[in-house]
Structure 1
Amino acid sequence: MDIILRNYYKLLGNIDVVLILALIFITTAAIVLGVAVFFTRQGRIQKRLERLLPDQPLPPQPSTNAEGLLRTEKTGSIAKLTRPLHNIIAPKEGSTRKKMRLKLIRAGFRSELAFYNFVAAKIILVLALPTFYVVTRFFYKLTPDVILSCVLLAVLGYFIPDFIVWANIRARQERITKALPDALDLMVVCVESGYGLDMTFKRVGEEMRAISPDVSDEFALTNMEIRAGRSRDESFKEMALRTDVAEVHSLMTMLTQTSRFGTSLAKALRIHADAMRIKRRQLAEEQAAKTAVKLVFPLILFIFPSLLIVLAGPAFIRIYQALLPALAK
C-alpha cells in the first residue's frame, strides 16, 4: 500500500504526465461517449419501430439517383457515430448554421449527415492532433514551445475541414462551368423536339449523368423541386444559389425572363449556349497567354542557374586554376 501511495504522489508531482494522461482521457472519453450514445439511441428507436410496426418491414430507400440526392450523398458512418457531439457544440438553427450548410451543399455534400461529419471532423482533429503530438513527446517536458505547438496544431485541425470544403467547392464549380455548354446544347435539342421546360430539365438530368454528375444532380434536383410544387422562379434561384457559378446565375435569369415575357425558349437557349462557348474559348486563350508569364519564375529560379553552372562552370574553374598560382605568390 505504501508503494502505491508513494507512486501516486510521485505521479501527482509530475505535472507533465498528469496533463498528458488527462488529454488522452478526454479524447478517448469523447469518442467512447459518442459511440455509446449513438448505439443506445439507435436501439431505442429500433425497439419503438418494432412496437409500432411489428409485422411491417421498413420502407426501402429510394433507388433513383435524383431521389437519393435528398437523403444521402458522400457521407459515411463517421457522421452517425459522432452525431451526439453535434448537439453539444454545433450551432443551432440560425444564420451560422445556414451558411455552413450552404457551403457543404456547394461542395456537393447535401445530406443532413454531412453537417454532422463536418462538425465531428473539427472536434476530432482539434483533439487528435495535439494529443498525437504530446504522446510522441511523452518523455519530454511540457515546455512553452510544446504548448505553443499544441495550440497551433489545434488551430490547424479546426481549419482543415474548412479548407477541404473550400477546395471541393472550387473543383465542383470548375466542373459545372466546363460541362454547362453541353447541357445547354442538350436543352436546345429537347426544346426543339417539343419538350416542355420541366421535361427538359428531367431529360438533361438523366442524359448528363455519365458526362457530368454535378450538372446532372443540379438539373434533377431542380426538376424534383418543381414537381413537388415549388414555383419555377424559386427553383431556379435555389439552383443558382446552390452552385454559386456565374454562368448558372445568368442561365437561370434568362430562363426566368423567357418564361415571364413569353419569348422563344429555343432561340434564347441557343444564343446563350453560343455566348458561353465563346466565353469558354476566350478563357482558354487567356490561360494560354498567361502561360509564358508563369514560366518566367521557374526558368529564372531553377533552369537558368543550372544552365549557368553547366555553361560557365568549366570557364570559372579554368580561370580559378590559372589565377591560383598568381594569388599564392
Structure 2
Amino acid sequence: MSYLLNVYYLLIENLNYYGMLLLVFLAVISMLLALYFVFNRQSEVKQRLGRFIPQQDDVDHSKPRLVEEQNGFVTKVVKPLHDMVAPTENETKKRLRLKLIQGGFRSERAVQNYLALKIVLAAMLPGVFLFARYFYSFSAQVVAVAACLTITGFFLPNIILNYRTKARKQNISKALPDALDLMVVCVEAGLGLDMTFKRVGIEIRPISSDLSDEFKLTNLEASAGRPRDETYKNMADRTGVAEVSNLMTLLIQTNRFGTSLAKTLRVHAEAMRIKRRQLAEERAAKAAVKLVIPLVFFIFPALFVVLLGPAAIRIITILLPVLGGE
C-alpha cells in the first residue's frame, strides 16, 4: 500500500511532465491514424462507387497501378526523404534492394520506404523527447540522450531488417528438406519440373509460407518466358540461403547436361537429411559446453547453499559455544 502511495505522490509531483508526454504520444498516434483514415477512405469510396458504375467487359479505363503509385501523395512525400540518404552507387542500391527482398519486402517502393523510415525515426524520436523537455531546463544530459535517440532511430530499421532476414532464412532452411522430399515424390510420379514447383509451393505453405512464395514466384517467372537457369538463379538470390543455392545449382546442371532429375533429387534429398542429422548432433554437442556457465555461476552455488547450509549452521551453533567457553 505504501508503494502505491509513493507512486501516486510521484505522479502528482510530476503531473506536468507526464501529462506533456501523454499529450505528445496522443498527438503522434492521432496524426498517424488521421493519415491512415484519409488514404483508406479514398479506396473505400472507390469501392462503393464501383458497385453502381456499370462494369465494362473489354475496356479498362482505370489508371495503371504503377502510374497511380508514382503520382500518389505518399510517394511525393517519401521520395524527397529517400533522395536525402539514398546511396549514389548502383552496386550499393542493388545490395540494399537484394537485402530487402531477402527480408521479404518485394515492393517497388521498398527501398524508398526503408530509407525514408530511417530519416523519420531519426528525426521523430529526439524531436518528441526534446519537445517533452521544452518546458524544463536543457542540459548536457538531455542533448546526449537526444543524440542517442537520433542514432537509435537511424539504425533501428537496420536491426529490424537484419532480424527479419535472419528469421526468414532460418524458416526457409528448416522447411527445405521437406520441400525436397515433396519434389522427389512429384518427379517420380511423372510431373514436370514446372508443375513440381507449383505443387510443392501449395503443399509446403502450412510449414513455410516464405518458401511457398518463392516456389510460386519461380514458377510464375518460368511461365512468363524467362529461361529456367535465370529463374533458378533469381530464387537463390532472393532467399540468400546456401542450401537453396546448392539446390538451384544442381537443377541448372541437371537441365544443362540432361541427367536424371528424379535420381539427382533423391541423392540430394538423402544428403540433406544426413546434413540435418549432423547439424542436430552438432547442436547437441554444443549444449554441454553452453551449460557450463549457468551451472558454475547459478546452479552450483544454490546447490552448495542447500547442501552445506544446514551443516554450516549446525557447526556454528555447536562449535562456537564450545570455543567461546574455552
Normalising by the smaller structure, the TM-score range is 0.7 to 0.9
For 1:156, the equivalent position in structure 2 comes to 152
**In structure 1, C-alpha distance between the alignment counterparts of 2:107 and 2:284, rounded to whole Å:** 39
In the alignment, which of 205, 211, 222 is matched to residue 209 of structure 1? 205
CA contact (8 A) 1:82 1:116 kept: no
Given that 1:35 and 1:81 are in contact with CA atoms closer than 8 Å, whether structure 2 keeps it comes out as no
Amino acid of the residue matched to residue 84 of structure 1?
Answer: K
Match 2:78 to one of 61, 86, 93? 86
Are the counterparts in 1 of residues 79 and 112 from structure 2 also a CA contact under 8 Å?
no
Partner of 1:310, secondary structure, is helix
RMSD: 3.6
* CA offset digits 1:183-226 (Å, max 9, x no partner): 11111122122222122112211222222211111111011111
Whole-angstrom distance in 1 between the partners of 2:117 and 2:80: 14
User: How much has 1:156 moved relative to structure 2?
Assistant: 0.9
Q: Give 1:150 deviation, angstroms.
A: 0.7
Helix, strand or coil for the counterpart of 2:225? coil
Runs of 4 or more above 6 Å deviation: 57-60, 324-327
User: Does 1:127 pair with 2:119?
Assistant: no
TM-score normalised over the length of structure 2:
0.72
CA positional deviation for 1:289: 1.0
Q: Structure 2 matches for 1:290-329, cutoff 5 A? A: 290-317=286-313, 322-323=319-320
Q: Which moved more, 1:179-188 or 1:138-147?
A: 138-147
* 1:217-258 alpha-carbon deviations (Å, 9 max, x no partner): 111101111111111111111111111111111101100001
More deviation in 168-177 or 124-133?
124-133
Please list every run of 5 or more consecutive structure 2 residues that lacks an aligned counterpart in the other structure: 1-23, 67-71
CA 1:323 to 1:82, structure 2 compared with 1: closer, same or farther past 3 Å?
A: farther
Secondary structure of 1:112's partner?
coil
Aligned with 1:256 (options 239, 246, 252): 252
Q: Deviations over 1:270-313 (max 9, x none)?
A: 00011001100110111111111111111112212222232333
TM-score (norm 1): 0.72
CA gap of 1:319–1:153, structure 2 versus 1, over 3 A, is: farther
Matched with 1:243 is 239
1:173 aligned partner = 169
Aligned residues: 274
Q: Does residue 115 in structure 1 map to residue 111 in structure 2?
A: yes
Structure 1's unaligned 5+ residue stretches are: 1-23, 61-70, 72-79
Equivalent position amino acid for 1:88 in 2: P
Assess if the C-alpha contact under 8 Å between 2:172 and 2:211 holds in 1. yes
- The 2-side partners of 1:294 and 1:189 are apart by 40
Q: Tell me if 1:185 matches 2:177.
A: no
Distance 1:117 1:320, change over 3 A: farther
Say yes or no: does 1:194 pair with 2:190.
yes
Q: What SS does the aligned partner of 1:102 have?
A: helix
| Cα deviation, residue 113, structure 1 | 4.1
Q: Please show how residues 224-243 of structure 1 align to structure 2 within 5 Å.
A: 224-243=220-239
Q: Structure 2: which amino acid aligns with 1:216?
A: S
Structure 2 letter corresponding to 1:87: K
**8 Å contact kept, 1:82–1:120:** no
State the percentage of identical aligned residues. 53
Alignment check: 8 A CA contact 2:177 2:272 kept: yes
